[in-house]
Chain A
Amino acid sequence: MLHRKPGLLDGPPFAAGAESLAAHHGRLGLLPARRDRLELVATVEASGLQGRGGAGFPVGRKWRTVAERARGHAVVLANGAEGEPLSAKDRTLMAARPHLVLDGALLAADAVGADRIVLYVGEEHHTAAAALDRALGERRREFGRRAHLVQAPVGYVSGEETAAVHYVNEADARPTTTPPRPFQAGVGGRATLVQNVESLALTALIARFGDDWYRAAGRGSTAGSALVTVSGPVPYPGVREIELGTTVGEVAAAAGHLREPLEAVLVGGYFGAWAPIEEAWHAALDPAAMRAAGLAFGCGVVGFLPREVCGVTATARILRYMAAASSGQCGPCVFGLAAVAEATTRLATGAAFRDDLDRLNRWCGQLAGRGACRHPDGAGGLLQSALSVFGAEFAAHQWQRRCKHGNLLRKAA
């Protein structure tokens, strides 16, 4: 899947637990001596690395924005709060290769001129937090007092960048209104670089092996590699590293033979979109190509939906989760997500009101840009894709109260 060496997940098997500092240095060598800090920013920019938290913002540009702030020290917030239910790559990386994440955080802090590093880790990621804590203990002299671990409360929205800053500042993991964005005023009011832990770990390899090394991978329009989390009816689900541009079919093959025929694939996670399996099979997991096709690479989720599971039911489940995960601050998110989740659930269970499908079509276009954060945008995009990919199914649930999967549909109340 990824031929360029070393990969992010190379080294001892995950089952062996976190890699020690000695093993890490033995395998990859020390971090190169600190150069001019903007030189590293330029290298990261040249690599073309895009953020791996979901939004895909260019990492180098973000570093430069923070590095070129007017005054004061900055803060680096390493974001390891992986709220996406179908993603496991961040916690896996932190648990198995904590020193790569710490390397990246240190490099970022040097590059942007930060005197404080916050390792923000989901409180449910016990193994990851323990691994980072131990790894930090191994490097006390290097990090001194500038790094500390903050456990993020469980929740889909806790990892949103303004929510992360808000939690560190005020112990409230709800997003805040922007501007200011964290790079303008974040932790303690200072310019803050919020960067996903996979992105940071990749910069640790880019600093060692160069931007050419990173760009050596990638088959399509986007150079590089990424971690993905595969789920669904495959023998070997879980986290793997791919070259960008790898097709969905190849990812399925790498996860072992499919155990049953597929209907669709969810790419990008609950924040992403459904794609019909025939179309997706040969589609490249390449952020630029996916964007052009109306999809998003997001945080690298590839979730296969078996043919015998109803797409309407699967979508209803996701929307109920998204509605419950709202931080409850913005009306359109509170009421809008609850409404689309309820209507989709009614359709899925054969209890649809006569205008549920019409309303879903109307509502799904009214969610984007309606919240302080992009949580409602994510739910709206997912619903939009479901209405198009499972269009016939939605119509059958609405008008015939029938599900081709033979789910028992009850009569209208």
Chain B
Amino acid sequence: MVPDVISVDRIRCDGHGLCAELLPELIDLDDWGYPLLGGGHVPYHLRDHAKRAVAACPVQALRLQAGVKTAGPGRKA
């Protein structure tokens, strides 16, 4: 099974930091309080916690996606 992926909309994110409080297993904060996500893959046993973190984000910058591989042209090519 492809794990879900948690991602952050970097433009929306204001560094409130609730996600790291609610999901410390997957989310760390940098020196300025913005989330560090690593790969973002959410193991099954953390799914509910991930959903809670998504719901708690005050600016709705977090997103949980069923594991889809994104592919396509990149920057400026």
- Contact residues of A with B, CB < 8 Å? 50-51, 53-57, 59, 61-62, 65, 79, 159-161, 176-177, 179, 181, 183-184, 194-196, 199, 329-333, 335-336, 339, 363, 366, 369-374
Chain B contact residues: helix, strand, loop or mixed: loop
Contacts between chains A and B (CB distance < 8 A), count: 90
Q: Which of A51, A370, A373 has the most CB of B within 10 A?
A: A370
Contact of B11 among A53, A54, A62, A372 (CB under 8 A): A372
Q: Which of B30, B32, B36 has the most CB of A within 10 A?
A: B30
B72 touches A177 (CB 8 A): no
B-chain residues with CB within 8 Å of residue A371 when the two chains form the complex: 10
B13, chain A: closest CB distance, angstroms: 6
Residue-by-residue, is B50-77 near A (CB-CB < 8 Å gives 1, otherwise 0)? Answer: 0000000000000000000010111111
CA distance A127 to B46 in the complex (A): 57
Q: Is B48 an interface position by the 8 A CB rule?
A: no
A-chain residues with CB within 8 Å of residue B13 when the two chains form the complex: 330-331
A-chain residues with CB within 8 Å of residue B25 when the two chains form the complex: none
B77 touches A51 (CB 8 A): yes
B30 touches A373 (CB 8 A): no
A221, chain B: closest CB distance, angstroms: 19
A-chain residues with CB within 8 Å of residue B37 when the two chains form the complex: 369
B72 touches A65 (CB 8 A): yes
B76 touches A330 (CB 8 A): no
Whether A336 contacts B30 in the complex (CB less than 8 A), given A176-B11, A331-B13, A372-B11, comes out as yes
A370 touches B10 (CB 8 A): yes
B77 touches A59 (CB 8 A): yes
A-chain residues with CB within 8 Å of residue B15 when the two chains form the complex: 331
B10 touches A330 (CB 8 A): yes
Whether A177 contacts B75 in the complex (CB less than 8 A), given A332-B30, A366-B30, A370-B34, comes out as no
A300, chain B: closest CB distance, angstroms: 13
A-chain residues with CB within 8 Å of residue B9 when the two chains form the complex: 177, 372
B10 touches A195 (CB 8 A): no
Whether A65 contacts B34 in the complex (CB less than 8 A), given A177-B10, A331-B14, comes out as no
A-chain residues with CB within 8 Å of residue B34 when the two chains form the complex: 331-332, 335, 370
14 contacts between A and B (CB under 8 A): A53-B75, A54-B75, A159-B76, A177-B12, A183-B73, A329-B10, A330-B13, A331-B14, A331-B32, A331-B34, A335-B32, A339-B31, A363-B31, A372-B11
Query: CB within 8 Å of A: which of B3-24?
Result: 9-15
Contact of A199 among B33, B36, B75, B77 (CB under 8 A): B77
Bin chain B's interface residue count.
20 to 34
CA distance A370 to B73 in the complex (A): 19
A65 touches B32 (CB 8 A): no
B75 touches A161 (CB 8 A): yes
A44, chain B: closest CB distance, angstroms: 13
A114, chain B: closest CB distance, angstroms: 15
B39, chain A: closest CB distance, angstroms: 10
Chain B residue at minimal CB-CB distance from A367: B30
Whether A329 contacts B73 in the complex (CB less than 8 A), given A366-B36, A370-B34, comes out as no
Contact of A372 among B10, B36, B72, B73 (CB under 8 A): B10
Chain B residue at minimal CB-CB distance from A338: B32
Chain B residue at minimal CB-CB distance from A371: B10
B48, chain A: closest CB distance, angstroms: 26
B-chain residues with CB within 8 Å of residue A56 when the two chains form the complex: 77
B37, chain A: closest CB distance, angstroms: 8
Contact of A160 among B12, B32, B73, B75 (CB under 8 A): B75
Chain B residue at minimal CB-CB distance from A83: B76
A-chain residues with CB within 8 Å of residue B10 when the two chains form the complex: 177, 329-333, 370-372
A160 touches B76 (CB 8 A): yes
Chain B residue at minimal CB-CB distance from A359: B31
CA distance A160 to B77 in the complex (A): 9
CA distance A21 to B17 in the complex (A): 59
B-chain residues with CB within 8 Å of residue A160 when the two chains form the complex: 75-76
CA distance A336 to B33 in the complex (A): 11
CA distance A331 to B29 in the complex (A): 12
A-chain residues with CB within 8 Å of residue B76 when the two chains form the complex: 51, 53-55, 79, 159-161, 194, 196
B-chain residues with CB within 8 Å of residue A366 when the two chains form the complex: 30, 36
A-chain residues with CB within 8 Å of residue B14 when the two chains form the complex: 331
Seed contacts A329-B10, A331-B15, A372-B10; 19 additional CB < 8 Å A-B pairs:
A51-B77, A54-B75, A56-B77, A57-B74, A61-B73, A62-B73, A65-B72, A160-B75, A183-B73, A194-B73, A195-B77, A199-B77, A330-B13, A332-B32, A333-B10, A335-B32, A363-B31, A366-B30, A372-B9
